[in-house]
Amino acid sequence: MNKPLAERLRPLTLDDYLSQQHLVGPDAALRKQIKRDIIPSIIFWGPPGVGKTTLANIIATESGRPFFTLSAISSGVKDVREVIEKAKKSDGLFTTKNPILFIDEIHRFSKSQQDSLLGAVEKGWITLIGATTENPSFEVIPALLSRSQVYVLNSFSKDDLIALLKRAISEDEVISKKQIELQETEALLRLSGGDARKLLNIFELVVTSEEEDKVVITNDMVMNKVQQNTVLYDKTGEQHYDIISAFIKSIRGSDPNAAVYWLARMIEGGEDVKFIARRLLILASEDIGNANPTALILANNTFQAVSTIGHPESRIILSQCCIYLATSPKSNASYMAINEAQAMVKKTGNLPVPLAIRNAPTKLMKDLGYGEDYKYAHNYENNFAAAEFLPKEISNHAFFRPGNNQREQAQRDFLQKRWKGKYGY
């Protein structure tokens, strides 16, 4: 039996498909589209091992369409055009339905490669299904994105992964021949990092390496079996999330030495430099914010630069940026302000806008008091006139609380002089 366990257990129908019930559950939109045989071009976005390729295969099977596949890692524009020509020739040969072209890791396609798909998608020669682990808003060209439905696949839950193990024990033609007691699962789940394919690969390794028919799965037993196979950095597994977490927390903790070390771990592990740059961009606003507004500008320029330059020179730009961010003053005041404001909106609903600051484009609105008594700030000293801008139900509630740093202290002084005690300033 040459096929790995993950391949042997690959579901063939929607009813066998595990997880992603928000997409394929009884009343989910994607299931309804498949059953009605209305298949749009689709981008599946989600972490590794959550069933993107499997779902594409099931869609093709259940809709009775020819299925062509390409991997963005090994395919170029020439390969895309050849497959499109094959798809055009197959259209109407066995079925009147247009074929499906599945592209794995579509985020690795260049702009020109993605452009080569547009004509075939627009003319209906193919239905495109792309799979990506990266945010399609950044990695898929707008013209292709606008012609596709984006569906997000979630990481498997603990219950889903355990159910998958139990399915392997009871249904797989190789594994089911052994007497397996699933005594502990924490090590299996931790090593797989939520990746179902990796989970099954590890599970198969553990089970088949045992000579006895009876196999008791414990955490220690699993760790002993796979320890020699662990890698320094797995950019699709748990190490990926642990190391990016260490990287971000080192910068937040103002430790440039640790930050550069974890950056080097990611670079040496083959991490996408744009992924690293995006995280720096988020951190510059979330953890530094107005304590040093230049941080956001530098992080944004870093993202643009590494997108243009690529590996390996981009490592220098990333190093400069992460050291700058690590040695910047820190504040999460803006991050906390928007979190608190969103929580207030969810709690209080659609509170009415004060009449004085409502827009009044018509006479009727003016007669109803819209815009009445509005104080135009520029008509007053220091371009400021005290007024009420929040709904009365939450008047005087402070969402923004300046941090303890030089720049935000200046913002606090500014607000104290203007509001004189309102909002607690």
Asked, for residue 334, whether it belongs to a domain, the answer is: no
Q: Are residues 131 and 44 in contact, defined by beta-carbon separation less than 8 angstroms?
A: yes
pLDDT in the model for residue 263: 95
Query: Is the same domain home to 76 and 165?
Result: no
**Which residue matches tokens 């659609």?**
350
Indicate which CATH number applies to the domain containing 127: 3.40.50.300
Average pLDDT over residues 71-99: 75
Question: Is 162 within a domain?
Answer: yes
Are 213 and 117 found together in one domain? no
Q: Which residue has the tokens 């910068």?
A: 251
CA distances 318 to 59, 77, 304, 384, Å, are 41, 30, 11, 42
Higher pLDDT, 113 or 323: 323
What per-residue confidence (pLDDT) applies to 236?
Answer: 54
Of 326, 359, 380, the last residue of a domain is 326
SS3 content of the chain, % helix, strand, coil (to 5): 55, 10, 35
Distance CA 168, CA 166 (A): 5
What pLDDT does residue 424 have? 86
| pLDDT at res. 235 | 57
121: burial class by Cβ within 10 Å (0-12, 13-18, 19+)? buried
- Residue 329 predicted with pLDDT over 90: yes
Average pLDDT over residues 127-148: 90
Domain final position from 195, 229, 263: 229
Q: Tell how far CA 324 is from the center of its chain.
A: 26
Average pLDDT over residues 264-271: 85
Three-class SS of residue 122? helix
Note whether 203 and 121 are same-domain residues.
Answer: no
**Token pair of 91, please?**
């259209």
Q: What is the pLDDT of residues 332-353, one digit of tens each?
A: 999 999 999 999 999 999 899 9
- Tell me: do 65 and 148 sit in the same domain: yes
Residue type, 331: S
- The answer to whether residues 108 and 175 belong to one domain is no
Bond before 312 cis per omega within 30 degrees = yes
Q: Could you tell me if residue 48 is inside a domain?
A: yes
What is the DSSP track for 345-395?
HHHH-SPPPPGGGS---SHHHHHTTTTTT---GGGSGGG------S-GGGT
CATH number for 367: 1.10.3710
Examine the fold and report which residue of 152, 173, 203 is the final residue of a domain before the chain moves on.
152
Helix (H) or strand (E) holding 43, with range, is strand 42-45
Residue at token pair 């914010």? 289
Which pair of structure tokens corresponds to residue 100? 């499906």
Q: Hey, how many other C-beta atoms are within 10 angstroms of the C-beta on 142? A: 8
Span 370-397, pLDDT tens digits: 989 999 999 999 999 999 999 999 999 9
Q: Identify whether residues 74 and 148 lie together within a single domain.
A: yes
For the chain, what is the domain count? Answer: 4
Residues in the chain: 425
Contact 135, 150 (CB under 8 A): no
Q: Output the pLDDT for position 232.
A: 44
Amino acid at 56: A
Put the strands of the sheet holding 100-104 in their side by side order.
67-71, 100-104, 127-132, 42-45, 149-152
Residue 179's domain spans which residues?
158-229
pLDDT of residue 326 exceeding 70 = yes
Q: Report the percent of the chain where pLDDT is more than 90.
A: 52
The helix or strand, by DSSP H or E, that contains position 121, with its residue range, turns out to be helix 111-123
Q: Are residues 198 and 247 in the same domain?
A: no
pLDDT in tens, 23-46: 999 889 899 999 888 899 999 998
Interatomic CA distance for residues 262 and 250, integer angstroms = 9
**The Cα angle at residue 160 between residues 48 and 222, in degrees rounded to 5:** 75
Same domain, 61 and 125: yes
- Say yes or no to pLDDT of 120 above 60: yes
Amino acid 212: pLDDT: 86
Whether 1 is covered by a domain: the verdict is: no
CATH code of 218's domain: 1.10.8
> DSSP character for 215?
E
Taking alpha carbons only, the member of 404, 400, 405 closest to residue 415 is 400
Q: What is the dihedral of CA 369, 371, 372, 373, to 10 degrees?
A: 150
Look at residue 365 and tell me whether its pLDDT is greater than 70. Answer: yes
Q: Are residues 185 and 100 in the same domain?
A: no
Q: What is the DSSP letter of 91?
A: B
Establish if 13 belongs to a structural domain: no
In a domain, 291, yes or no: yes
Same domain, 225 and 318: no
Whose tokens are 């590494």? That residue is 306
Buried b (16+ CB within 10 A) or exposed e, 350-367: eeeebeeeeebeeeeeee
Q: Is residue 128 part of a domain?
A: yes
C-alpha to C-alpha distance for 355 and 360, rounded to whole angstroms: 10
Residues 53-66, mean pLDDT to the nearest whole number = 92
Structure tokens at 78: 């020439």
Looking at the predicted structure, is the pLDDT value of residue 117 above 60?
A: yes
Could you tell me if residue 178 is inside a domain? yes
Residues 206, 318, single domain; the answer is no
Over residues 144-167, the pLDDT tens digits come to 999 999 999 988 889 999 999 999
Same domain, 279 and 225: no
